Chain A
Amino acid sequence: MSVAAPPPKAAGRGTPPPRTARARKAALGLDGGTWFLLLPALIPILVLSVGPLLYGVSLAFTDAQAGRTEPTEFVGLANLADLRHDTLFWESFRIGLVWAVSVTALQFVLALGLALLLNQNLRFRWFARTLALVPWAMPEVVVGIMWRLVYHQDAGILNETLSRLHLIDDNVGWLTSLSLALPAVIAVGVWAGLPQTTVVLLAGLQNVPYELKEAAALDGAGLWRRFTTVTWPAIKPVVIAITALNFIWNFNSFSLVFVLTQGGPGGETRLPMLFAYEEAFAYGQYGYAAAMGLAMIAVIAVFLTLFLRRRLKEEAS
């Protein structure tokens, strides 16, 4: 049993289904009942996700751009060749990796702790569980604006509180200092993504067979041993699923950071997806933006395969 790790080469290709129903059935060995379960979900995905996506990928090999005045031509690998020399993009790639890895890791560690706490039989648990979902409930549009206010140098509540507590003497420019900006936006990223990971893990914790836990407790197993032998194996599929997804999403996100810093100061928080977004929407260079998309898929796929492989081996042993 495994979490299917897509081979990296599948990334750009997107396996097309065989032509006829019979051929499919013969080739893939699925019976009618399974198709009945699968199709309702697969058809909408095929029409509205696979189609547009393959089209998007195909743009990477053309010089497609906004506007109806220029004809679009096939340019082969020219976009990818240009991309190789785009130092600004690769610099932002580095920032993107720092961002995605730190946010994903912190999200996971903090969410696991919170989920374990919320799974305890504590008083006001319902209240705590609800408050823990605040970042989810707040409309995304205001999240960036509220955090800008929190971090505001002159009139921000963070500087105000810290200086009341005599932790700082001078107001700190959280979002404008070259060294603090990235950590500051990472904190917001973790904050914003914590509820989803917590809820998913909390649901996963319900799969932990209570008897096993009790049995382990009776055997005199310590907290840590109980966690590693009983809890962890039960939530592992969910942990892998959510961490992989979180990593992809974090690597691909940019709008929250954009609201906070516009990619500044001095380009220190320019995430790679912001490049692709601006390339497509602000400069109208669809072809080049699609090439950036391909590069990102390739890198994420490599990371993910490494991550999922290791987990698979652990699972097997």
Chain B
Amino acid sequence: MRPVTCFRRASAAAALSLALLAGVAGCGGDGGSDDGTVTLDFLSLAWQKESVEANKRLVAEWNEEHPDVQVRYVQGIWDTVHDQLLTSFEGGEAPDIIHDAADDLTDFAYGGYLADLTDLLPASLRADIPEQSWRTTTMNGGIYGVPFLQEPRMMFANTGLLRESGVRIPTPADPWSWREFEEVAKKLTTDTDGDGGTDRYGVAWGMKEPVSQSVNLSLSTGGGLFSREQTDDGPKNRVGYGPRDSAVAETIDRQVNEDHTAPRSSLGMSGSDTLPGFFAGRYAMVPLNFSYRQLITQQAPDDFAWSVLPMPAGDGPAGGLAQGVSPQTLSVAEDSDHRQAAADFIAFMTRPEHMAELAAGDWMLPTGREALKDPALNTEEYGWRTGVQVARSLRPAPVLGVRGYREWSDKIATPAFQRYFNGDTDLDELRESLVEDGNLVLDRYQR
């Protein structure tokens, strides 16, 4: 019996006295009502203005078409969505339709809080989204979310500085190799005022979240850190850290600590923290997620020319541009009284034209094949086309479906990578933390 249920019984009497004490009874509202209409709560994490508007517009459209299944838009935020969901799952008050990200679904799916969508979704939707995207939400024998938006990490460059230096401009068909990228960074790093200190760096690595970046980019060199191993107790997730896993991290380390083509100071920054330096020409390039384009269009000075380039490519078997992503997802709560209706709403939101609209609103890429062809997403403006071309190289982030990943990341990997990039520890020490301490953590989740 799970603890909360035990507690519920014990607390019934206390709750009764509580209700008397306060003398007020709030409204419960569990979806059904007397006249047969159903109300579903849709917890949305849309944030940018265009995206919130697109979501609300689609909800209104649905409500008009389906008078008997009304959807209520509830606004959530990324920072706290996990805690909010966990609390309402435990309390049996979860929203019916849940917007989240694939990497946050693992524990909820294994915990039995999310509905298996395998038999609830229309075949057209199953066919439209490619298999590699479905793999991001397939775990524990079911499909626990519809992956609908995703974004690759891209290299944002100061167009003027890049032209000036005369380096070759990479394209998705002919990207830089990591080696070539290191040379480019060297070329772009200068001491413009001649005082002996570098005042323009080739690249600024904003590594506030060093783990997801290091893990996801390692796919380009054929790494991935996580593997499933057959043991006597069945398959187990293991962490490894071989040369292919560490090649990208070593490149970053070289740039920061040997070549000094990347500043150490940016390591603690988030993506948006690096922007003032990017606009001021202090950093010639910054690797950022695709949707940062929206922030850049807002904040960049009027005369600032910027371009969106593919990340450098490795020699990995999945393709040089391969990188891991954790798409945004739509799921249905297991406790929902109207799972099929909720799944129908998800199918409605992810119709190709709707998916394209939501993607454009969030400056991200849709997962669906049809939506990706939308003309609005295939313009040269704001680097849209470059992103669309990279889309087919995106793979499920290696951490998806690995139980215990969060703890490994928080306690072991984040501090270990921070100390490594900061030059405090070497590769061997990094490997030792990630692998030895790391597997101890993972083992706790798969006894």
Contact = CB atoms under 8 A, between A and B. Distances in A.
A and B physically associate: yes
Given A47-B21, A64-B2, A283-B107, 19 more contacts: A47-B17, A51-B11, A55-B7, A62-B3, A67-B2, A70-B2, A72-B6, A153-B265, A154-B273, A154-B282, A155-B277, A176-B265, A265-B422, A266-B418, A267-B415, A267-B418, A278-B406, A282-B406, A283-B406
Interface stretch (B109-117, B336-344, B389-397): B109-117
Interface string A59-94: 100101011111110000000000000001000000
A214 to B, nearest CB: 49
Nearest to A153: B265
B193 interface: no
A178 B110 CA distance: 37
Nearest to A284: B107
B407 interface: yes
Contacts of A66: 86, 89-90, 107, 111
Interface string B43-83: 00000000000000000000000000000000000000011
A16 interface: no
Given A69-B111, A284-B107, A284-B111, A154 B406 contact: no
B419 A68 contact: no
A43 interface: yes
Contacts of B89: 66
Contacts of B422: 178, 265-266
Interface in B409-428: 410-411, 414-415, 418-419, 422, 424
Nearest to A278: B410
A152 B273 CA distance: 8
Contacts of B419: 265-266
Contacts of A55: 7, 10
B208 A72 contact: no
Contacts of A281: 82-83, 86
Contacts of B406: 278, 282-283
Interface in A157-199: 170-171, 173, 175-176, 178
A48 interface: yes
A43 B18 CA distance: 9
B82 A282 contact: yes
Contact of B415 (A264, A282, A286): A264
Contacts of B407: 278, 282-283
A212 to B, nearest CB: 45
Contact of B276 (A47, A62, A154): A154
Nearest to A262: B208
Contacts of B21: 43-44, 47
B267 interface: yes
Main secondary structure of the interface of A (DSSP, over half): loop
A48 B267 CA distance: 45
A175 B264 CA distance: 13
A72 B111 contact: no
A47 B113 contact: no
Contact of B14 (A51, A154, A266, A284): A51
Contacts of B111: 66-69, 284
Contact of B268 (A171, A265, A283): A265
Contact of A67 (B1, B112, B274): B112
A155 B276 contact: yes
B318 interface: no
Interface of B: 1-3, 6-7, 10-11, 14, 17-18, 21, 82-83, 86, 89-90, 107, 110-113, 197, 208, 264-269, 273-274, 276-277, 280, 282, 404, 406-407, 410-411, 414-415, 418-419, 422, 424
A265 B404 CA distance: 22
- Pick the most buried of B6, B267, B404, B415: most chain A CB atoms within 10 A of its CB: B415
Contacts of B17: 47
A263 interface: yes
B437 to A, nearest CB: 9
A298 B425 CA distance: 35
Contacts of B267: 176
A67 B3 CA distance: 10
Given A59-B3, A72-B3, A88 B90 contact: no
Given A68-B112, A282-B406, A282-B407, A264 B418 contact: yes
Contacts of B6: 72
A70 B406 CA distance: 19
A69 B110 contact: yes
A291 to B, nearest CB: 14
A266 B6 CA distance: 40
A85 B349 CA distance: 49
Nearest to A170: B197
Interface residues of A, number: 39
A175 B265 CA distance: 10
Nearest to B11: A51
Nearest to B267: A176
Contacts of A283: 107, 404, 406-407
Given A72-B2, A281-B82, A88 B411 contact: yes
12 contacts: A67-B2, A67-B113, A69-B110, A72-B6, A153-B265, A154-B273, A178-B422, A263-B410, A264-B268, A266-B419, A278-B406, A278-B407
Contacts of A173: 264-265, 268
A225 B216 CA distance: 66
Contacts of A266: 415, 418-419, 422, 424
B21 to A, nearest CB: 7
A25 B28 CA distance: 40
A94 to B, nearest CB: 15
Contacts of B274: 154
B53 to A, nearest CB: 24
A178 B268 contact: no
Contacts of B107: 66-67, 283-284
Interface in A265-309: 265-267, 278, 281-284, 286
Contacts of A282: 82, 406-407, 410
Nearest to A55: B7
B29 to A, nearest CB: 22
B83 A68 contact: no
Contacts of B3: 59, 62, 64, 72, 286
Interface in A216-263: 262-263
Most buried by B among A67, A71, A72: A67
Contacts of B411: 88
A282 B268 CA distance: 22
Contacts of A155: 276-277
Contacts of B277: 154-155
Given A44-B21, A262-B208, A265-B422, A153 B269 contact: yes
A176 B265 CA distance: 8
A95 B3 CA distance: 32
Considering the complex of A and B, which 6 residue pairs feature the smallest CB-CB distances, nearest first?
A67-B111, A176-B268, A267-B415, A155-B276, A64-B3, A266-B419
